[in-house]
Structures are given as structure tokens and as C-alpha cells.
């Protein structure tokens, strides 16, 4: 998506009012513990499961000096001072909790400090599948309000779409990461998402977020989830 990435770099449109106030870190995955003697794996780097679209977007943003690739580990301790030893730590960050590459959250994030903007290149794996949805619901109107009468059991042609909760997770992680890198520790206070088009498993999407304004302790950001070629708007959030 050469034309699409140029739009991103110039500052593409976004629509996600995200309120935050305490601490979010990028998620990470891993299958072993690390000590000071062993450098922890950075999961933001390409692996063999990345699609050509994911790799292309990664390479294009990596070449642009205004964007900084953000490291991604599998526990919060690796984001702290000196990559200290994990010891017998049993926890993992939610978005990096699987041992196998390519089956869950495959993503990398870039940060643009001047624009207060964060881009996540996201490729949902097969373990993020959602239930089969209905392609049509029969509805009517009563006293000026829509009323659902009954679902017509006409499922989407395939269930191979990312679960809505996984989409919410990666949106929250992207917006939160941008907030943390811009203003420091923050925590999500409110997140509303419009699901416009389902995201096929294995596809590549762009999650584009930026900080819009600060009102006291509240930080408002904007965000969109778009297809890799910028042709389909999948999600907007407020």
C-alpha cells in the first residue's frame, strides 16, 4: 500500500476519542524466561509468519526517520530499568502470551513524537477467531425506535474473522502506548468502538492513533483501524 503508507506518514484521518489516566504498556509474547545474561526477545521484529503486507509496511515505516520502532517484550519487567532478571516470574502480557509465532497477536508499533502519533501494524492469527456472526437481522420500528424481531439464521460466509474483543484489546494497547510515550503512565478510563467491517484472520490492518488534547488528567486520543491498502475502514473508537 504505497499510497496508503504515504497518507499515514502525512497524517491520516482518525476518529477515536480515548480517555486515559494511569499505566498501559505494549503487550508481548514469549516461551521462555530471560535473565540479565540473556537479552529478552523483541517481538516487534519480523518473523517467518508475517505476511508480505505486514513486512512491507514494517519496512516502509522503518525507513522513515520520523517514525521510531517500539520494542515489544512478553512481560512488563522487561520494560523496566536494566532488563532485570525475571527469576521465577509466571505472568505474561496478554497480547504476547502464546509460545508459537503467528497464531495470536502479531504486531509491531511505531511512534512519531512530533505528531504524538502511534501506528500499529496488526496481523491477527487463527487463535483470535470470533464466533460466526449473522449477516442479517430482521427488524422493525415501534414508536420511532428500531426493534429486533428475530435473527434470520444467515451466518457470514466464513467464521474466519478476528474476535471483537481481540480488536478492542489491540486498539486499547495502541492508544495506550501512544499516551504513555507522550505523557507517561496512564490507564484507560473509557473506550467505545464502532465495528464497521470484520477483520479477516491473517490479514494485515493499520491501527492509527494520535493524542488530540489534554483536559486536566484526561488525555483524549483518536484512532482508526484500516486495511493494509487503506481501502476498508474496519473500526472507529471513541
Residues designated catalytic:
172
Beta bridge partners of 220: 19, 213
Contacts of 27 (CB under 8 A, 6+ apart): 72, 93, 94, 95, 96, 105, 169, 173
Beta partners for residue 209, in sequence order: 118, 223
Amino acid at each position: 500500500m504505497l499510497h496508503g503508507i504515504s497518507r499515514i506518514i502525512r497524517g491520516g484521518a482518525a476518529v477515536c476519542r480515548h480517555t486515559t489516566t494511569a499505566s498501559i504498556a505494549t503487550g508481548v509474547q514469549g516461551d521462555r524466561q530471560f535473565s540479565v545474561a540473556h537479552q529478552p526477545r523483541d517481538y516487534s521484529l519480523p518473523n517467518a509468519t508475517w505476511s508480505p503486507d505486514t513486512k512491507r509496511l514494517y519496512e516502509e515505516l522503518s525507513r522513515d526517520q520520523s517514525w521510531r520502532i517500539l520494542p515489544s517484550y512478553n512481560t512488563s519487567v522487561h520494560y523496566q530499568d536494566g532488563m532485570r532478571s525475571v527469576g521465577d516470574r509466571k505472568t505474561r502480557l496478554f497480547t504476547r502470551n502464546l509460545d508459537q509465532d503467528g497464531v495470536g497477536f502479531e504486531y509491531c508499533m511505531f511512534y512519531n513524537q512530533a505528531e504524538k502519533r502511534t501506528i500499529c501494524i496488526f496481523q491477527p492469527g487463527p487463535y483470535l477467531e470470533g464466533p460466526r456472526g449473522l449477516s442479517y437481522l430482521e427488524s422493525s420500528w415501534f414508536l420511532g425506535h428500531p426493534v429486533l424481531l428475530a435473527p434470520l439464521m444467515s451466518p457470514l460466509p466464513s467464521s474466519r474473522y478476528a474476535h471483537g474483543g481481540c480488536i478492542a484489546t489491540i486498539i486499547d494497547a495502541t492508544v495506550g502506548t501512544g499516551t504513555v510515550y507522550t505523557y507517561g503512565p496512564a490507564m484507560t478510563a473509557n473506550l467505545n468502538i464502532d465495528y464497521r467491517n470484520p477483520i479477516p484472520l491473517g490479514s494485515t490492518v493499520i491501527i492509527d492513533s494520535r493524542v488530540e488534547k489534554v483536559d486536566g488528567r484526561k488525555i483524549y486520543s483518536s484512532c482508526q483501524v484500516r486495511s493494509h491498502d487503506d481501502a476498508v475502514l474496519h473500526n472507529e473508537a471513541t
